[in-house]
Structure 1
Amino acid sequence: MKATLAALSLSALLFPALSQAAEAPVSAQQYATVLAGSWRAPANSARDVYRHPQQTLAFFGLRPDQTLIEITPGGGWYSEVLAPLLKEHGHYIAAVQAPTSSAYARTSEESLKQKFAADPARYAKAGFVEFDPKAPTLGKPGSADTVLTFRNVHNWVLADTAPATFEAFFKVLKPGGVLGVVDHRAKDGASLDDIKHSGYLTTAYVVKLATDAGFKLDGQSEINANPKDTKDYPDGVWTLPPALKLGEKDKAKYLAIGESDRMTLRFVKPVK
């Protein structure tokens, strides 16, 4: 808690536009209502214990009036939370890879659009933006208050598209805007080869990607830490749930560990 308060105080001193915007965060009651929503898939709600959505979004400074872009939301785990929170006064945008980039991108976008179309009460105002992963553009420059990405950076590292992706985040955000990153955390000193094979990233590596793009590190949180995660599995992070790549082999062991140990980082685009 002390670290989080210190980070927020730093924001107020160095980024006045951000501190002013943070005066109206999403309330505890709003989070409670959405997290208990009947539209959330039961399997998704069951993962709250690992993903701590309320604490994570509060750390990122979520406000109900924001224009927020979520990068490659997959099946929409966070969409179920973010889109309803923003539907009245803000704008939730799902940034998806162009369907021509891969079969996975095509099926993911189709599935997410079907999910949104089936529940207009929650998703009618949600938007989409398609981007080329090799040359990403996420919208009009300076048009977003917040960009969030959950467990995606390791994929961009594998594809050698991470630097361009972080540059796209910087361009689309307003001055004072927030980039929130959650990803699997490697042991300090892990090599790039280790990272690419395990799916775990060092915090220093992610911070460098962001700062090279122009961001300033504004806060770190242990909200999504998991000390049970030893990070030395046969199939990397995908050995753990939810992937459980080894199937029934040692399944009980990996379920007892839970989802991966994760870094939770908040970056800010400086106000010039």
Structure 2
Amino acid sequence: MNPTSPTRHPSWPRSRFAWLLIAALALPACAQQVAPGASTEADQPADVLVPPTSASDFTASQLDEVLAGSWRSPANRARDVYRHPKATLQFFGVRPDQTVIEITPGGGWYAEILAPLLNDNGHYIAAVAAPRGDTEAQRDDSALHRLFAADPAHYGNAKIVEFDPRAPVFGPPGSADMVLTFRNAHNWVGAGTAPAMFQAFFAVLRPGGVLGVADHRAAPGATLEAVKGSGYLPTDYVVKLAVDAGFVLDASSEINANPLDTHELAIGSPDASIF
């Protein structure tokens, strides 16, 4: 679907979509089978970080250091056992030398991890909805501004950019290696802005870049109309949003699946959901 996105050369790798919690894997026959976030040698810019060990080992070590960081709030660290941030970010293929855009990070649960991880060799960009003049509810992003301003040693290179949810632009075309979003897609579906958001994700990613999405998964067989407003989404609907925008489904995971989830109401109740 995405007729407004930049034309991709046929020989360039397709931008990929990794959906957390779906037990499925679909790669196009013409695509080279690489992990989400990984790049072939031809994709790499000349100035990429060359770690002393393998990229995956280096990233794992860096993630361990960041997750143990004293700057993380105790309340946020206490949720690691439920949100599995290391496994989640490794699944998406995050590396400390990438440009990563996190969409509507709220108070910064993942920003506390991603921004310090990317601070020295990569770029962390938090994309937040621009304030509107009508009565539409807005997220409070002041906590994120305070977080970055109070600790330049760990957040000094982090950026916050604003976007219009109805006509979103997250940066110059092809400028990001990865776009990540956690528990936000159901809000865009409810607001009717989801197709525009996914098209904008595709536009800002470089060829071969990765979109990583995590959200509350509806019970098998549930229709969109039946669960709309609950905070849950049907798997096939989210995949279609991404595929229609130009992505290829690259991988999926059950990392954060919760067998105790009742699928009744995810909004405002993270412990009862997949997170």
* Alignment TM-score, normalising by the size of structure 1: 0.80
2:169 aligned with 1:137: yes
| Alignment partner, residue 124 of structure 1 | 156
Q: 1:14 to 1:29 in 2, by over 3 A?
A: closer
Secondary structure of the equivalent of 2:96?
coil
Amino acid at match of 2:55: A
1:233-244 aligned at under 5 Å gives the runs 236-238=265-267, 240-241=269-270
Matched, 1:36 2:96: no
Amino acid of the structure 2 residue aligned with 1:213: A
Native 8 Å contact 2:260 2:272 kept in 1: no
SS at match of 2:171: coil
Cα offsets for 1:203-228 (capped at 9, x unmatched): 11100000000000000001010011
Q: Is the partner of 2:127 in helix, strand or coil?
A: strand
> Please, which moves more after superposition, 204-213 or 31-40?
31-40
Query: Secondary structure of 2:162's partner?
Result: strand
Trace 1:1-272 onto structure 2 (pairs within 5 A): 13-14=32-33, 18-20=39-41, 24-25=55-56, 26-100=58-132, 105=138, 108-232=140-264, 236-238=265-267, 240-241=269-270, 258-261=271-274
**Aligned AA for 2:240?**
K
CA RMSD of aligned residues (A): 2.7
Asked if structure 1 preserves the Cα contact closer than 8 Å seen for 2:115 and 2:155, the reply is yes
Gaps (5+ residues) in structure 2?
Answer: 1-21, 45-53
Separation in structure 2 between the aligned mates of residue 190 and residue 112 of structure 1, nearest angstrom: 35
Provide the rounded CA distance (Å) in 2 between the counterparts of 1:103 and 1:239.
18
Deviations 1:151-173 (A, max 9, x none): 00000000000000000000000
Cα distance in 1 between the residues matched to 2:160 and 2:55: 26
Q: How far apart, CA to CA, are the structure 2 residues paired with 1:142 and 1:82? A: 20
1:69 alignment partner, SS class: strand
State the secondary structure of the residue aligned to 2:215: strand
More helix by share: 1
The one-letter amino acid of 1:18's match is S
**Cα pair 1:11 1:218 within 8 Å, conserved:** no
8 Å Cα contact 1:67-1:145 kept in structure 2 = yes
Q: Which blocks of at least 5 consecutive residues in structure 1 are unaligned?
A: 242-257, 263-272
Q: Do the aligned residues in 2 keep the contact of 1:15 with 1:176 (CA within 8 Å)?
A: no
RCO higher in structure (CA 8 A, sep ≥6): 2
Measure the CA separation in 2 of the matches of 1:166 and 1:238: 21
Q: TM-score of the superposition, structure 2-length normalised?
A: 0.79
Is the contact made by 2:218 and 2:234 (CA closer than 8 Å) also made in structure 1?
yes
Q: Are the aligned partners of 2:124 and 2:157 in contact in 1 as well (CA < 8 Å)?
A: yes
Q: 2:98, 2:121 within 8 Å by CA — same for their partners in 1?
A: yes
Q: Is the 8 A contact 1:11 1:19 kept in 2?
A: no
SS of equivalent residue, structure 1 residue 130: strand
**For 1:11 and 1:219, how far apart are their aligned partners in 2?**
16
Question: Higher mean Cα deviation, 31-40 or 13-22?
Answer: 13-22
Sequence identity of aligned pairs in percent?
A: 61
